[in-house]
Amino acid sequence: MLNPSRLMPLLGLWLIASPMQAESMDDLIQVLQDGDCRNCRLADADLVHADLRDADLRDARLQRANLGEARLDGADLRGANLSFTSLRGASLRGANLEGSILHGTDLRWADLSGARLSPNALEEAHWQGATGISRDIRSHAALHNAGVEATQAGRWPEAERLFGAAILSSPQEPLSWVARGISRSELAKDDLAAQDFRYASALFKKGGNQKVANQLQTAAEMVQTRRTKTHSKSEGKGWGGQLLGGFTATAQALAPLAMKALIPLGLGF
């Protein structure tokens, strides 16, 4: 007997213009009816608001599926492919996501209280606003990239906090100091921004990159003195990208993480 609380997602799929393949539909019926469907083929499935509490979805192929606001408390998602899957606003309390693929996965506003994830699992996922994420899972890269997303949305105070957390996680990574300096320059915290640029400069110098170190020293001097030159806070907005305009050529050779931090800030490479 099909669980009525799991019926609506199935009805929605029967009504869409392009029906799923028969084998995928069989898997969908199984997971909605029984809650157990290991190795299920559910790519692109529409499972919004689905009740999948305690479901066995180990190794399920759920890439690009829509599980927005689904109830997955206690679900076993070990080894599941959740690439580009929407779990926005979903409840994953106590779920097991160890070994799952979270490339491009939307976990924003999801509840991950008590959920088990592999170390650094969130590096390639979107998890802003999610709750219950333990500190040891939020790697430097995950925090740094979340800060990048905040800059893209113009949420500079949030970006400053996230880059600060990334620095605490990995204080010897100069790019996070640069990124926080840019965020602080956008918030008119010029003295603090200059301090970040100078520290990043010292780290680049220590790493043997004198050219970038010099450019960051120049950026620190410019951002610290701009108020006396412009006489207007509004004229100072957006200087982060402008100050580092000469940084582009060298940044092209940095690691992908470094480039990802700088691309959204207008350097355009």
**Amino acid at position 267, single letter:** L
Torsion angle of the four alpha carbons 216, 219, 224, 228, in this order, in degrees rounded to the nearest 10: 160
Q: What are the tokens at 101?
A: 């693929």
What's the first-to-final CA gap in the chain, in angstroms? 57
Strand partners, 76: 56, 96
Helices (H), the chain: 7-15, 22-34, 140-152, 156-169, 174-186, 190-206, 210-230, 233-236, 239-243, 248-251, 256-262
pLDDT digits (tens, 9 = 90+) for 221-236: 887 776 555 544 444 4
Burial class (CB in 10 A: 0-12, 13-18, 19+), 35: middle
Q: What is the 3-state secondary structure (H, E, C) of 138-174?
A: CCHHHHHHHHHHHHHCCCHHHHHHHHHHHHHHCCCCH
CA max distance for the chain = 75
> Whole-model pTM?
0.53
Per-residue pLDDT tens over the stretch 15-56: 343 444 545 677 777 777 777 788 999 999 999 999 999 999
The dihedral formed by the CA atoms of 95, 100, 102 and 107, expressed in degrees to the nearest 10: -10
pLDDT tens digits, 76-135: 999 999 999 999 999 999 999 999 999 989 998 999 998 998 877 887 888 877 888 766
